Every structure is written in structure tokens, then in C-alpha cells.
Amino acid sequence: MTVPTAHRYQVVWFKRDLRVDDHDPLMRAAERGPVIPLFIIEPDLWQQPDMSGRQFSFLSESLLELREQLSDVGQPLIVRTSDAISCLNDLHCTYGIDALWSHEETGNDWTFTRDRAVAAWCQEQRIEWHQIPQFGVIRRLKSRRGWAGRWDRLMSAPMIQRPKGLMPLSEIEPGPLPQAQDVGIANDEAPKRFRGGRSVGLSDLESFLQDRGEPYQKAMSSPLTAFDGCSRLSAHLAFGTVSMRETYQAACRRQDDLRALHMDHRGRWPGAVRSFLARLHWHCHFIQKLEDEPAIEFRCFHPAYEGLREHNAEAIERWSTGQTGLPFVDACMRALNAHGWINFRMRAMLVSFASYHLWLPWRSTGEPLARLFIDYEPGIHWSQMQMQSSTTGINLPRIYNPIKQGRDFDPNGSFIRHWIPELSEVPNVYIHEPWLWPEMRATIDGHYPPPIVDERAARKVARDKIWAVRREPGYRAIADQIQVRHGSRKSGMPQHDKRIKIARRKQKAEPATQLSFLTSE
């Protein structure tokens, strides 16, 4: 192949790092020569079953602002709609690529396969591909020992400043930002979703740490308070409009400011910031699992759970559209459909209900949930789908009672009534179990379905099945291996050992009719 030799450009391939600040590949590339800042919209990626139109809308808003940011430093974002290798090959033939720069990506299986193909193409063309870590996930990690300390050091390192200036490339047309329908993406606009773009992310970070976040530790649990009381940064971290490091350092500065105040003036802020920082660690801890073992997107951590559950298309449809007849489950699912986001505890409850009460495979429910989340992060998502479905082998079953959850976090039913107007006339005393209301049939019969399952009976059956697997010969030996590879190193004692002993003590102390392993989060 003959390529131009006049310039030999540095191509910075933006993926899920849609910002100019704290962008190591961009700064390093700018030091080497003229930069082509590139984003590739890959139609095949957007046809995958975990991708959606609402995610594309957030992406489009973020790309528009990224293009403006890059224009401010001299060269707007180049956007192409193509497969990655065809796009890079065209650029190489036309302009000549000296090196390809990007952040490392721990995405879904499709992006993993694509990256391996791009690496092979680069090797064939003798083009260096510099992949630089974006946050605390470590590629080719041999042991989890010391992982948390390395994360702290990386997050505490100075932020990368934006380049002072990029050479304008008037010969390269920036290209249009296509609409979702232009690349075959079905319209799936969540009417109440959070907006994309770095300016929105920075504004949410500031308002959370300075104003909204004080009740965070309590507010995060209830959907009544979580939409305002949580950071609203998860989608920005997933798309990289805000970096993990600048988020961590902003929280640390807030923590330092609080320590300088008299204790009487700190309020609940110290606990809020401490909890937020812990969840930033948690973010990378779970992505590391997928980086270390990509197969967990498709296979159970512990093989004893393979084939345990049964696919049921009707149950999945009722669950994913908020028509199960369990009001708090349905209200949370309808809120998720409208917002593209819901708080973590409610996500866990939705997965728990699907995995235990409906006995559905985590892959069958994981894909529709992934499409609903604008903050879909494959490493977190698939790790959590397995954790909440009890297929990891190292986490105790967490079987949420959705009726109790509703009473705990929506005691008067205001959240339920907002999202299920069919139940607007149900009295408070019956709002969490409307099928017990004597006037139910006469008032709303046909407008809201009866429960898809008997909650208590389904929960008991699921618990017995899961614990039967855990008692199988050889189960523990495999679980110990999983713990070594993927478990937390926060203490010397494996977490599943601690929790099993605690759970067994609780089981002896509680009445037989009470669920012994209900999560306390």
C-alpha cells in the first residue's frame, strides 16, 4: 500500500471518553504531530441487542459538545459512519497514519472482537496502536492483590491538561452527525432521561457535591428521592464526558473542605462524600471482572448454575413493560422506561424479582435492561446481573421482597400512583397489595393485571432451588477459585465466608416464614 508521507497523522480514536480534558491519548498524540480526532459511528455495534436509541441520543448530544470543545483547541471532531477497519484504512490511504491512539475499552463482546481485528490491522500496516488506561481497570492483571492501592494512586495522579492547540486540518471534512434512524437504530427516546454532554456532567458533579448530595446515604435507596439525591453521573462516566479521575478528585477536595469546617457545620456531608467515593471504587472493581474474564457476559461465573432457569417470553414482556401486577415492581420499571435510569437498589430489586420470582435467566432479562439504561456499562451490568441472580458462587442470594421494598421506600404509595395511574383510587392500606382490596374488581378490573406470581410462594421455591445448588458436592471448591480471581481484597477473610456465617446465624434466629437472606442495602 502506498500512503502519503507529507504529514503522517496521529489519529486519536474517541470511544467512551468524550472529552478534551484529562484525555491522555489526545495529549500524547498532540505532542507527536498533527492530530485527526476521530469518532466512528459503527452501525453493526448499534444493532447489538444491548444497544438502544436512548443511548444513541445521549451519545449524539455528547459528540456535538465534544466537537465544539475540539474546535476551541483548533480542530473539530471528525465523524465517520462505517466499520472501524474500513474507516481507518480510508484515512491511512488518503492521509497516512503514523500512530493510532485511544483509551483502553472494556466493552461488550462485539467491541472486544472489533478491537482484536483493529489490532491485527494495525500490525499488518505497521501502525503503532497506543491504548492507555482510562481509569482503574488494569489490563492483563495477574492478581487482585494490591488492586485497590493501584486504583488510589492512579486516581490521585495529576489530571491531564487539554492540548494548547491542535493543527487545523482544512483538507479533512468533519462529516455530519447522523440521526439514529440514519444508521438503523429504532426510536427509543426516554422522555425524562438525563441529557448528554460534558457541560451537563460537570454541572451535575458540582451540584451534587455542593448542594444536592447531603442526604445521599439515605436518598440513594428510594426512587422518591434518588433522582435528585444521587449524583446523576453514571451515564457521563459510562460515555466518558467526565473522567473518573476528575470526579474522584472533586470529591476529595470536597472532603478536605468539610474537614476544615467545625463539626457542627458539616451536617451529613462527610458520610455522603465517603459513600460516594466508595462507589467510585466499586465502579472499577466490577468492570475489572469483565476485563479479566470476558466470558462472564454470556456464561455464569459458577458453572453449577448453567441451564438452571427457564426462558419465558410472556413473563419477560410483562416484567419489562411494568405489567406484573406487583405495584412497586411495575412502578420502578415504568420509571426506568421513562428516565433511562433508576437507583441501584431498585435495579437490584427488578433483577431479583425476574431471577427468583419469575425464575428467568439473567441473559434473557439482562439484554432488555441494558437497552433501557442510558448508563449501560457492560462490566458493571453483567457482573451485577449475575450477582443479583446468585450465579457468581461467591455472593449470597439476595431475594428482595418487592412488597416489603414498596412499604419501606414508598410507604404512602405516591411513587406507585404516579407511575401506575390505574391504581389512583386504591387506599393507602392496600396500595402495595391491591388484590386484597375488596373494591378492586369493581373499581379497576381489567385496567391493571393480577399478580403474575404468588410473591411469597415463588420466593420460597427460588430460595430452595438456589440453596440446593450451593449444597452440591464440589460447589465450594469452584467458588473458592472464583473468589481468588474476582473477589474483593478489603479483608483477609473471603466475603462469601463472612456472609454465609452471618446468614446462617440469622436463619436460626428468625421465624420460618421470614426470608432469611433479604438484603440489608
pLDDT digits (tens, 9 = 90+) for 130-184: 999 998 999 999 888 899 999 999 999 999 999 999 999 999 999 999 999 888 9
CATH for 296-509, options being 3.90.1150.10, 3.40.50.300, 1.10.579.10, 3.20.20.70: 1.10.579.10
Going by their DSSP bridges, the two strands 35-41 and 78-81 should be labelled as parallel
CA angle 358, 362, 367 (to 5 degrees): 110
CATH for 198-292, options being 1.25.40.340, 1.20.1530.20, 2.40.10.120, 1.25.40.80: 1.25.40.80
Same fold, 1-134 and 198-292: no
* pLDDT given at position 8: 82
Helix (H, G, I), strand (E, B), or coil: what is residue 37? strand
The separation between CA 476 and the C-alpha centre of its own chain, rounded to angstroms, equals: 29
* pLDDT given at position 512: 33
Distance CA 9, CA 420 (A): 56
Distance CA 240, CA 199 (A): 12
> What amino acid is encoded at 150 in this protein?
R
Closest to 48 (Cα-Cα) out of 186, 230, 198: 186
Helix (H, G, I), strand (E, B), or coil: what is residue 38? strand
pLDDT digit string, tens, across residues 243-286: 999 999 999 999 999 999 999 999 999 999 999 999 999 999 99
For the chain, the domains span 1-134, 198-292, 296-509
Contact between 155 and 252 under an 8 Å Cβ cutoff? The reply is no
Q: How far is CA 471 from CA 342, 467, 479, in A?
A: 35, 6, 12
CATH class (in words) of the domain with range 1-134: alpha beta
Which residues, 6+ apart, have CB-to-CB distance to 207 below 8 Å? none
* pLDDT given at position 517: 23
Distance CA 384, CA 303 (A): 17
Could you give the strand order of the β-sheet that contains 97-103, starting from the edge strand earlier in sequence? 78-81, 35-41, 9-14, 97-103, 128-132
Q: What is the pTM of this model?
A: 0.91
Distance CA 384, CA 354 (A): 13
